[in-house]
C-alpha cells in the first residue's frame, strides 16, 4: 500500500491478490464481500452473518471453520485522532483514502506517528509526493526492533533525505486549525505542524469473534493455535495475523504478524482442515524493509531474547563490501551477527545496506543458516555462488562467520579481510 500511495503502482486494484470472481472461476469458492460475521455458535456449528448492503441477517452452517480475521491498526487514545486528515494504514481502503486526501487537499507537511516498518515505508512514499515528513517515535530510535547502532544508520539515512525525527516522544494530541484542516500534533517537546497525520504505531490481533465463541487466546491476545492451526474449540481453526505461532529457535509461543507467515499458516490450515496432518514449524521473524535506497532487515533473536532463552550470546559487527573494489556498483553494508558463545550456534542477524548492495540476499542466507541450526563454523564453508558482478570471493555472511568463529575461539580476527571496509 505505501507503494500505491507513493506512485510506484498507479492502480490500487493491482494490490488485490484475487477477486471474488476469480475465486469462483478458479476454485468454485463463493466469496461474500460486504458481509459481516456477527457471532459464532460453536456448539451448533453455525455463524450469524449480516449483509451490510441490505441489513439482512442469516445463519451459515459449517463443518470446519477457519478464522482469518487479521489484525487491526492501533490508534493511540489521544484527542483529535478522529479528525479529517488523520489516518491509519491497514486495509486497502485506507490507502485509497490517503491517496484521495493528498490529491484533493494538497497537504505540505506530514507527521508519521511510529518509526517501525510501515512508518519507514511511508517516509519514502510521502517524500516522493513532495511532502515534508516528520517521524515521531516513542522509543529513543527509529526501527525499535533493531539494535541502537543499526537503527542509528537508518536514522542518518532518512535524515539525509530531509526527514525529521522526533524520538523518545509520544503524541499527546492532534489539533484542528479551525478551518476544517489540521494544525499539527502536540508532544512534550513541542508542537509539530502537520496537514496530514499517519498513525503507524502497530497492530493488534482481531480476536473478538474468537473470544466471544470461547476460543482460548494466547500471547499478545492472539488466537492460540497448535502446529496444525487448531484452536481450543473443536472444528475451529485460525491462521494469519490473528493467530499465534512459535519461535523456531526458542520453541516459545509468539505472535509475528507478517504476510509471509500468514500465507504459510493458511496453507497448513487448509491441509489440516481437510484431513492432512501437517505441522507448521514456526517462524524466526525474518523481515526486510525498503526505505529510500536502504534495505533494512533482521532475522532470529536479539541479544536480550537470546539471553532470556538461556544462551550466552556472542556478537560481531562488520562493515563489508558487496563487490570487489574494481567492479562498478560496489557498496558497503552493515551486518550484526549473533551466536551462542558456547556452541557457536547462529541465533540472529541484522543488516542495513543500500538497495543495490543486495543486502536481502545476505539476510536470506543467514535466515536459512539459522533455521537449520548451523554454527558459525558451519557457515564458514557454505558453498555460495560467486562471480565478480554478484559478490566478493568470500561473501558477507561467510566473512561474518569467520569473525564470529575467531571471537568464540578467542584467536583474534581470524578472517579473510578481503571485502571488509
Q: What is the pLDDT of residue 239?
A: 98
Per-residue pLDDT for 418 more than 60? no
Within this chain, domains 73-203 and 293-409 share the same CATH topology: yes
Q: What is the pLDDT of residue 411?
A: 56
pLDDT tens-digit map of 299-315: 999 999 999 999 999 99
pLDDT tens-digit map of 380-405: 999 999 999 999 999 999 999 999 99
Helices 117-128, 148-160: inter-axial angle, 10-degree rounding: 10
Q: Which of 193, 162, 199 is nearest to 175 (CA)?
A: 193
pLDDT tens-digit map of 233-257: 999 999 999 999 999 999 999 999 9
What value does the mean pLDDT take over residues 110-139?
A: 97
Q: What is the pLDDT of residue 349?
A: 98
Q: Return the domain boundaries, the chain.
A: 73-203, 293-409
For the entire predicted model, the pTM comes to 0.91
pLDDT tens-digit map of 138-182: 999 999 999 999 999 999 999 999 999 999 999 999 999 988 889
| CATH class of this structure's domain 73-203 | alpha beta
Q: What is the pLDDT of residue 180?
A: 81
Q: What is the CATH number of domain 293-409?
A: 3.50.50.60
How many CA atoms lie less than 13 Å away from 68 in the CB half-sphere? Answer: 14
Amino acid at each position: 500500500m505505501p507503494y500505491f500511495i507513493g506512485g510506484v503502482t498507479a492502480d490500487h486494484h493491482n494490490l488485490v491478490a484475487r477477486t471474488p470472481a476469480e475465486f469462483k472461476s478458479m476454485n468454485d469458492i463463493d466469496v461474500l464481500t460486504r458481509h459481516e460475521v456477527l457471532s459464532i455458535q460453536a456448539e451448533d456449528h453455525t455463524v450469524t452473518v449480516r449483509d451490510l448492503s441490505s441489513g439482512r441477517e442469516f445463519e451459515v452452517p459449517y463443518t470446519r471453520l477457519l478464522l482469518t480475521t487479521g489484525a487491526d491498526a492501533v490508534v493511540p487514545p489521544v484527542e483529535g485522532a478522529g479528525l479529517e486528515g488523520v489516518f491509519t494504514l491497514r486495509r486497502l481502503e485506507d490507502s485509497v483514502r490517503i491517496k484521495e486526501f493528498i490529491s484533493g487537499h494538497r497537504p505540505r507537511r506530514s507527521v508519521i506517528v511510529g518509526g517501525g516498518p510501515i512508518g519507514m515505508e511511508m517516509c519514502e512514499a510521502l517524500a516522493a509526493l513532495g511532502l515534508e515528513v516528520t517521524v515521531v517515535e516513542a522509543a529513543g530510535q527509529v526501527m525499535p526492533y533493531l539494535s541502537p547502532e543499526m537503527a542509528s544508520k537508518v536514522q542518518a539515512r532518512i535524515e539525509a533525505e530531509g526527514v525529521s525525527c522526533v524520538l523518545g516522544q509520544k503524541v499527546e494530541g492532534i489539533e484542528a486549525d479551525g478551518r476544517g484542516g489540521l494544525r499539527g500534533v502536540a508532544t512534550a517537546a513541542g508542537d509539530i505542524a502537520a496537514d496530514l497525520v499517519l498513525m503507524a504505531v502497530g497492530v493488534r490481533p482481531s480476536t473478538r469473534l474468537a473470544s466471544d465463541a470461547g476460543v482460548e487466546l494466547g500471547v499478545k491476545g492472539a488466537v492460540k493455535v497448535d502446529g496444525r492451526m487448531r484452536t481450543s474449540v473443536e472444528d475451529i481453526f485460525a491462521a494469519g495475523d490473528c493467530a499465534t505461532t512459535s519461535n523456531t529457535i526458542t520453541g516459545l509461543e509468539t505472535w509475528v504478524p507478517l504476510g509471509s507467515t500468514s500465507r504459510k499458516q493458511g496453507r497448513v490450515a487448509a491441509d489440516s482442515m481437510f484431513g492432512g496432518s501437517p505441522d507448521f514449524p514456526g517462524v524466526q521473524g525474518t523481515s526486510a524493509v525498503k526505505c529510500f535506497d536502504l534495505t533494512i532487515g533482521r532475522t532470529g533473536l536479539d541479544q536480550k531474547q537470546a539471553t532470556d532463552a538461556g544462551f550466552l550470546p556472542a556478537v560481531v559487527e562488520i562493515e563489508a563490501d558487496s563487490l570487489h573494489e574494481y567492479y562498478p556498483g560496489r557498496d558497503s553494508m552493515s551486518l550484526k551477527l549473533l551466536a551462542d558463545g558456547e556452541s557457536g550456534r547462529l541465533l540472529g542477524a541484522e543488516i542495513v545496506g543500500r538497495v543495490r548492495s543486495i543486502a536481502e540476499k545476505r539476510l536470506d542466507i543467514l535466515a536459512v543458516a539459522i533455521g537449520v541450526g548451523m554454527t558459525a563454523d558451519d557457515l564458514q564453508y557454505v558453498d555460495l555462488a560467486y562471480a565478480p558482478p554478484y559478490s566478493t570471493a568470500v561473501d558477507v555472511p561467510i566473512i561474518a562467520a569467520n569473525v564470529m568463529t575467531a571471537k568464540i575461539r578467542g584467536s583474534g580476527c581470524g578472517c579473510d579481510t578481503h571485502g571488509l571496509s
